[in-house]
Chains A and B, each alone.
Chain A
Amino acid sequence: MRITITLKTALRALRRNKMRSVLTALGIIIGVGAVIAMVGIGNGAKAQIEAQIASLGQNVILIFSGSMTRSGVHTGWGGAGTLTVEDAEAIRREISGVSAVSPELRSAAQVAAGNQNWMPQILGEGPDYFDIRQWPLVEGAPFTDLDVRGANKVAIIGKTTAQQLFGDESPIGQVVRIKNVPFTIVALLSSKGLSVMGSDQDDVLIVPYTSAMKRLLGVTTLRSIMVQAADAKQLPVVQQQLTELLRQRHRIQPGRDDDFTVRGQQDIADMATAQSKTMTLLLGAIASVSLIVGGIGIMNIMLVSVTERTREIGIRMAVGAHARDILLQFLTEAITLSSIGGLIGIGLGVGISKALSAIVEWPTLISVTSIVVAFLFSAAVGIFFGFYPARKASKLDPIEALRYE
């Protein structure tokens, strides 16, 4: 029997019970829709995270004060720091694969300019910071080693903070009071957008780390040290050397935990993707359960259909249909049902992701692969769950099928 005729017969049989066909396909529609939406959202999130990781700068290693256990629970973070300016200098001096180092402090503080108040992130950084993060200035010049040595009261302002404090006016040369200490703005940063964790990276005020330590926070230790390796290939070596150097400097006995945490860029990326992976996994589980339930629905309806159409099967066999023809006829029907369900599901999934991106401003990326895979998968569900009923139909005896009431 020709495939076009088989297909036509299948479509006609499905049309005959429109409502039933639609309800049966619903499981597949929902399953495939969930898969497509899930992959779209997951891919979008991944692309965004990747872009953010890249915006962190290249070959960056972060060293945090305090230790962090493998499970991610950290102890002593931001408390009494263990990293010192001398540590940072030793790293710069003694590890050859390191191209730039910036000691870091971080705090949120009330900032006033004229009668405007705002609460940006205050970062204490070294002059290398802007190179490491590949963060160009729009206006002005960065602070220098001289500013660092003198703990000068100069600051570089982020786009958002500048907007909040000065509106459209140029912030260069203006004075802001951080914790009542006056700082002069020397430069304006270009816009960097959201961070991996979703915060606005442009809502910052960056001062020399020495100024942050002495004039703002009154501390002698650092929150973290940002290190850039000269070469991606050297990253593991540099990371290893950093750890050894700091353990030695901090006089940590072998077998005892580090009092600092070294994080490569990949670790940060992993941390950020872990969350979206959990979400993807959950949605994936829902989708597969839905597809299986949809498949069982198809199997159920096909079994009912075989029983209802026993006489038809008998007639077809009586006029010369082989068992294989009957098998193919019912299998085609199941596959047609699940494939059409799959196609509708793909449309639904694309719609959902588009709607979601519009509502929560979360980018979605629908890949052609996911559409092709989802379609093939729905067809496969039809084959898998349609096979048993089709086989049952093909095993009927013509005489008994004809006698069936």
Chain B
Amino acid sequence: MNPVIKLDDLHKTYHTGEVEVLAVRGVSLEILPGEFVAVMGASGSGKSTLMNIVGCLDRPTSGRYFLDGTDVSELDTDELADIRNKKIGFVFQGFNLLSRTSALENVELPMLYRHDQHSARELREQATRALETVSLADRADHHPNQLSGGQQQRVAIARALVNQPALLLADEPTGNLDSRTSVEIMGVFQQLNEQGITIVMVTHETDIARFTKRNVVMSDGVVLTDTPVGDRLFAGPELERLQKTRGSAPQAAAS
């Protein structure tokens, strides 16, 4: 099987005034279709930098990046934008939803920049379907400030999925969420992964990383360890367990 992502001695150096920051210093990595990878590491180890390059939002200083066999480092800005639009769904750490815009319209956003034109009805149908995958269809008309953190993250995931990309990237998707909501989000990811979507996700929580299939640990801009997950957790049983241990604690309405 050909790798979806193939990184070859990737470097990223930031120049801020006098100082040079070597954020990524030679990362080589292959990720195959259907994988579910957690990228871990201490703060400042270069996880976000790496994810932004993989997400075609940023360019490496040196090294090569093949996405589905194409050398992405040689593409121009418009071609990169098309790749972000079609091939990659990106879930940001801070949700990055358009405020004062309904959940549905937020999800429609990537479809507006597709090259094949759709009628307003088709847009709405597809966006609603994407919201259904994250069980949020009933909140379609709500604005981000009327949604909980977990719900906003689901909208962000629905937006990343709406153009049916083969690759889903998420930078700390559970960073701002409580543990129960985090597990629910992992449930969504596991379900998507079951359907064949390749997922790469940044997290600094080891518990969360156990929901994936493979853990890559970074340190100081290089890959420290790269191991398959042995004792994998599954969201369904985990949620049940959480329910029980909470016991009499007041029940939050399901997300």
Contacts and interface: CB of A to CB of B under 8 A. Distances in A.
A314 B86 CA distance: 17
Interface stretch (B76-84, B211-219, B221-229): B76-84
A320 B90 CA distance: 11
Interface stretch (B23-31, B110-118, B131-139): B110-118
A306 to B, nearest CB: 15
* Interface residues on chain B, size class: 20 to 34
Given A322-B81, A398-B57, A316 B113 contact: yes
B126 interface: no
* Interface residues on chain A, size class: 20 to 34
Contacts of B98: 312, 315
Consensus secondary structure, chain A interface: helix
A320 B92 contact: no
B52 A321 contact: no
A16 B113 CA distance: 23
Interface in A292-339: 311-312, 314-325
A319 B58 contact: no
Contacts of A399: 52, 57-58
A320 B84 contact: yes
B117 A319 contact: no
Contacts of A146: none
Contact of B57 (A312, A318, A323, A325): A318
Contacts, number: 56
A14 to B, nearest CB: 13
Contact of A322 (B58, B78, B109): B78
B90, B97, B109, B163 pick with most chain A CB within 10 angstroms: B109
A319 B77 contact: no
B57, B100, B112 pick with most chain A CB within 10 angstroms: B112
Given A315-B98, A318-B84, A320-B82, A1 B109 contact: no
A319 B110 contact: yes
Nearest to A4: B120
B179 interface: no
B85 interface: yes
A360 B88 CA distance: 69
Contacts of B114: 320
A276 B57 CA distance: 62
Contacts of B146: none
B159 interface: yes
Contacts of B112: 1-2, 5, 321
Contacts of A402: 57, 92, 96
Nearest to B84: A320
B109 A315 contact: yes
18 contacts: A2-B117, A314-B96, A315-B97, A315-B98, A315-B109, A316-B109, A318-B55, A318-B90, A319-B84, A319-B109, A320-B82, A320-B85, A320-B114, A321-B113, A322-B81, A323-B78, A399-B57, A402-B57
Given A320-B82, A320-B84, A321-B112, 12 more contacts: A2-B117, A315-B98, A316-B109, A318-B92, A319-B90, A319-B110, A320-B86, A320-B114, A321-B81, A325-B113, A398-B57, A402-B92
Interface of B: 52, 55, 57-58, 77-78, 81-82, 84-86, 90, 92, 96-98, 100, 109-110, 112-114, 117, 159, 163
